[in-house]
Amino acid sequence: MKRWWQRRTLRFRLALWYGLGGTMLMAGFCSAIYLFVARRMARPLDHALRRDLSEIEAHLSVAPNQSLLWDGSPIRYDQRWRHPWVEIWDSHEHLVARLWPLEDSQLDSLPFAPPPGRDNLSIFNVTSNLRLRALSVPMTVPGAPPGWTMRVLRVHQRLDDPLGTLLLIMVIALPVVVSLLVVGGYAITRRWLSPLDEMVHDAEEITAKDLSQRLSVENPNDELGRLATVFNRTLGRLEDSFTALDRFVADAAHELRTPLTTLRSVGEVGLRSSRSAQDYREIIGSMLEEAQRLQFLVERLLKLATAEGGHQPVRREPVRIDQLVATCISELAILAETKNQHLFIDAIECVAQTDPVLFRQALQNIVDNAIKYTPEGGEIRVAVHVGEGMLDVSVTDSGPGIPVEHREKVTERFFRSGDARSRRRGGFGLGLAITHAYMQVLGGDLHYEAANPKGSRFTLTLPTT
């Protein structure tokens, strides 16, 4: 049964649940209407029974010999009874008297004994077309044990009365209404779920070769519209990822092709004719230089893939950031001296819970970039600022800076801005991407802003705990 249910469509299941729920509601509603109408129709009769009871209690009494008296006179059973119908039952549930104008022999059945000791309303079918409504109440008989009961009777209704007609209408109308509910529910769910069919059709058209298509959104405010919107955003992120991956592969292939082509060209030139030992040494030196460049590129790509893939091991420990900055600057100072650049440090004593190796590598990348793009005789300033739960290490150079339209791409792989950051500088455009990935692993971030009056300022933001 469960497997059969799971194979049904969503609109079928919704329509079926709609029909079942409607059936239960309609059945409950019809039952409530029937009981309400029955009670309303019986209310005047119940009042009449109470009036008959008052009349009987005023005129009927039981003699010491348990004979019945009406206004003090013995009741004559040979005459037609013209007063309210009544039965008297003793404490042993034996009928003492039944006073009514009906002939017992002409009835299909007679009322059975009422439950003693409490008021009770009941209905009896004495013939196929005659129904009686009875009110039973306890009565006290002098000299007799308790448990006697008086029951007053009246004609209740005939079987072809309006209540029976109402029941017949409900029995006929209920299947019709349920059928309409099921058909209407199926039509409504089909209409409501039609955007889902369109989404399925649109999704089937989307392939890895063309992620530019999107799901149609009729109403972005309902549940299906919000689902389509979220799916479209996911498709957008996938498209951006595939685009970045394609660009990364193309850029990596281009960067790898250059040293490989150089190696092949140099080797082919060296083999064209006999040369001196000095010439061969120069050729081999050029080939080793390109091989070293190729090895460096591959190592940078591996570092970037490890950091972005979440596989970079992190060993956090208390680190004196001011001391780490000073050590890193002293190691790179020799590079700045070759270009007559001036390094300045503004750092206060501060401690952060971080991985010293990763943070130091990130800082070295930023300082190395600053030295690389700052002209000879320029200045590079490194400052450490401590805030509430965070600290910033900023590196400001006096180089050409980055154009406004390129600033959002500084952390992308193989990105180089114009001539200022060309291959002639010796880079691959991976340093900032690796630095950004390292900072993400450490729970921090990398920010860029233009320096005043010119240059660039890169800031490493790091949590202190």
- The answer on 338 and 231 residing in a single domain is no
- Predicted pLDDT of residue 423: 46
- The answer on 291 and 326 residing in a single domain is no
- The answer on 25 and 161 residing in a single domain is yes
- The answer on 370 and 323 residing in a single domain is yes
pLDDT tens digits, one per residue of 53-101? 999 989 998 888 878 889 888 888 777 888 899 999 988 889 988 999 8
Other CB atoms within a 10 A radius of the CB of residue 265 amount to 13
- Predicted pLDDT of residue 135: 92
Asked if residue 179 is part of any domain, the answer here is: no
Contacts of 297 (CB under 8 A, 6+ apart): 255, 256, 259, 428, 430
Is-cis flag, bond preceding 111, omega within 30?
no
Name the amino acid, one letter, at 376. Answer: E
Asked if residue 68 is part of any domain, the answer here is: yes
- Of 99-108, 221-230, 407-416, the range with the highest mean pLDDT is 99-108
Asked if residue 4 is part of any domain, the answer here is: no
- The answer on 385 and 338 residing in a single domain is yes
- Which residue among 308, 336, 366 closes a domain? 308
The lowest-confidence range among 134-143, 215-224, 398-407, 444-453 is: 215-224
CATH number at residue 121: 3.30.450
pTM exceeds 0.75 for this model = no
- Predicted pLDDT of residue 419: 46
- Which residue among 148, 166, 184 closes a domain? 166
- Predicted pLDDT of residue 159: 43
Nearest-angstrom CA–CA distance, 299 and 362: 15
Domain that holds residue 229: 223-308
- The answer on 453 and 365 residing in a single domain is yes
Asked if residue 125 is part of any domain, the answer here is: yes
Q: To which residue do tokens 């030992």 refer?
A: 277
Express as a percent the part of the chain with pLDDT over 90: 11
- Whether residue 382 is predicted with pLDDT greater than 90 in this model: the reply is yes
Sheet-wide strand order for 120-127: 95-99, 85-89, 148-157, 130-139, 120-127
- The answer on 152 and 25 residing in a single domain is yes
What is the CA angle 98-100-106, rounded to 5? 95
Q: What is the mean pLDDT of the chain?
A: 81
Tokens of 406: 């390129």
Asked if residue 201 is part of any domain, the answer here is: no
The lowest-confidence range among 11-25, 384-398, 416-430 is: 416-430
Buried b (16+ CB within 10 A) or exposed e, 33-47: eeeeeeeeebeebee
- Which residue among 308, 327, 344 closes a domain? 308
- The answer on 356 and 244 residing in a single domain is no
Asked if residue 208 is part of any domain, the answer here is: no
- The answer on 16 and 102 residing in a single domain is yes
- The answer on 159 and 38 residing in a single domain is yes
**CA 30 from centre of chain:** 38
Tokens of 25: 């509601």
Number of domains in the chain: 3
- Whether residue 439 is predicted with pLDDT greater than 80 in this model: the reply is yes
Nearest-angstrom CA–CA distance, 442 and 438: 6
- Whether residue 458 is predicted with pLDDT greater than 70 in this model: the reply is yes
Other CB atoms within a 10 A radius of the CB of residue 318 amount to 10
- Predicted pLDDT of residue 142: 82
- Summarize the confidence of residues 161-173 as an average pLDDT: 79
pLDDT tens digits, one per residue of 223-273? 777 888 888 888 888 877 777 677 667 656 655 666 677 677 777 777 777
- Predicted pLDDT of residue 138: 92
Q: Alpha helices, DSSP H only, in 156-276? A: 162-192, 194-205, 223-272
- The answer on 260 and 137 residing in a single domain is no
CATH number at residue 238: 1.10.287.130
pLDDT tens digits, one per residue of 285-307? 878 877 876 776 677 666 666 66
Tokens of 382: 């490194």
What is the CA angle 302-305-310, rounded to 5? 130
Asked if residue 188 is part of any domain, the answer here is: no
Asked if residue 180 is part of any domain, the answer here is: no
- The answer on 304 and 321 residing in a single domain is no
Q: Indicate the pLDDT class of residue 381, thresholds 50, 70 and 90.
A: very high
- Summarize the confidence of residues 441-448 as an average pLDDT: 88
CATH number at residue 410: 3.30.565.10
pLDDT tens digits, one per residue of 336-380? 888 899 999 998 889 998 888 888 888 988 898 889 889 999 999
- Whether residue 395 is predicted with pLDDT greater than 90 in this model: the reply is yes
- Predicted pLDDT of residue 428: 61
